[in-house]
């Protein structure tokens, strides 16, 4: 029988290569809330290649965070499959998900979630405590990660001694310290002024140039434009999937933006 139902969310037809980092197949997610059942994802199929920089957009409640939590192995789909670097993790238990998450995923959230009485370097080092590596190697990885986000000269600063943008860059360094395959960011610029937000996009574009795959939720078109691809969610489905042909360089845009001191 021929496939009669070619909906916008039909499973991706692009041939799978070894470069697929993320593949979701008809994912549904239900939340049970007492008597009611929320159908948060309603058949989400997507494929993300290594080296992509994807912005996820959509109204509040459209399922963006639910999708990100599944991609990040913080939660499991109710049905459908999720393959992370070719491995089906949809049936993994919590312990196995935590292991995979620690090896393959870096997370950045809207709030920076840094420890207050802990320096930038120590904050960055935290996720390495679970990895089986010695102290010197941990320190080296944290130092390298801080350098990647341009914060070498702030290594000994405490969060209260840094700007919001610097704190978010520490959070990005911390997300990178275990050398993940993919960086997931849920509204990473939500708490930042527009100039600082574009500075974070400069960091993301730099990391993406170095080959890091990035998926970022944002509700701001001005921020989404820096990605190479935009997925738009509505009512738990992907309604649009667009390639951005020539994204502006954040570093160039910054030169045209007034700073807070101006």
**String of b and e for 175-200 (b: at least 16 CB within 10 Å)?**
bbbbebebbbbbbbbbbbeebbbbbb
Question: Judged by CB, which is closer to ligand ADP: 68, or 162?
Answer: 68
Residue 90 binds which one of Mg ion, ligand ADP, none, with CB within 5 to 8 A depending on kind?
Answer: none
Q: 14 near 21, Cβ under 8 Å?
A: no
Contact characters 136-175, ligand ADP, x per CB under 6 A: ----------------------------------------
User: Which spans of this chain sit near Mg ion (rule: CB under 5 A)?
Assistant: 64-65
Residue 31 binds which one of ligand ADP, Mg ion, none, with CB within 5 to 8 A depending on kind?
Answer: ligand ADP
We find the least distance from the C-beta atom of residue 218 to Mg ion, in angstroms, to be 10
Q: 234 near 58, Cβ under 8 Å?
A: yes
**Rg (Cα) of the chain, in Å, rounded?**
19
| CA nearest to 221, candidates 183, 247, 191 | 247
72 binds ligand ADP (CB under 6 A): no
Binder among 45, 47, 64, 205 for ligand ADP (CB under 6 A): 64
Binding window for ligand ADP (CB under 6 A); candidates: 2-10, 63-71, 92-100, 142-150:
63-71
Question: Judged by CB, which is closer to ligand ADP: 8, or 153?
Answer: 8
Q: Restricting to residues 30-59, name those near ligand ADP by CB under 6 A.
A: 31, 33, 38, 40, 58
We find the least distance from the C-beta atom of residue 229 to ligand ADP, in angstroms, to be 18
| CA nearest to 175, candidates 113, 96, 116 | 113
Q: Locate 130 and state its tokens.
A: 């679970």
Bridge partners (DSSP) listed for residue 129? none
d(CA 222, CA 197): 10
Residues that bind ligand ADP (CB under 6 A): 31, 33, 38, 40, 58, 60-66
């Amino acid at each position: 029988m021929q496939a009669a139902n070619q909906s916008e969310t039909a499973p991706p037809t692009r041939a799978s290569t070894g470069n697929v980092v993320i593949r979701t197949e008809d994912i549904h997610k239900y939340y049970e809330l007492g008597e009611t059942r929320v159908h948060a994802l309603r058949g989400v199929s997507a494929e993300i290649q290594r080296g992509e920089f994807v912005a996820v957009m959509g109204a509040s409640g459209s399922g963006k965070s639910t999708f990100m939590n599944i991609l990040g192995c913080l939660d499991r789909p109710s049905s459908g499959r999720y393959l992370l670097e070719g491995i089906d993790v949809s049936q993994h238990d919590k312990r196995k998900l935590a292991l995979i998450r620690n090896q393959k995923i870096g997370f950045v959230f809207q709030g920076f979630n840094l420890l207050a009485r802990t320096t930038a370097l120590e904050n960055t080092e935290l996720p390495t405590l679970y990895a089986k590596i010695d102290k010197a190697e941990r320190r080296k990885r944290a130092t390298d990660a801080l350098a990647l986000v341009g914060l070498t000269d702030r290594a000994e600063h405490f969060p209260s001694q840094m700007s919001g943008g610097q704190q978010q860059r520490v959070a990005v360094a911390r997300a990178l310290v275990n050398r993940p395959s993919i960086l997931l960011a849920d509204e990473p610029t939500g708490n930042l002024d527009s100039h600082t937000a574009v500075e974070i996009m400069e960091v993301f574009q730099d990391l993406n140039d170095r080959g890091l795959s990035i998926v970022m939720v944002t509700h701001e078109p001005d921020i989404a434009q820096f990605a190479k691809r935009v997925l738009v969610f509505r009512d738990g489905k992907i309604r649009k999937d667009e390639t951005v042909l020539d994204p502006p360089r954040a570093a160039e845009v910054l030169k045209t933006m007034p700073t807070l001191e101006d």
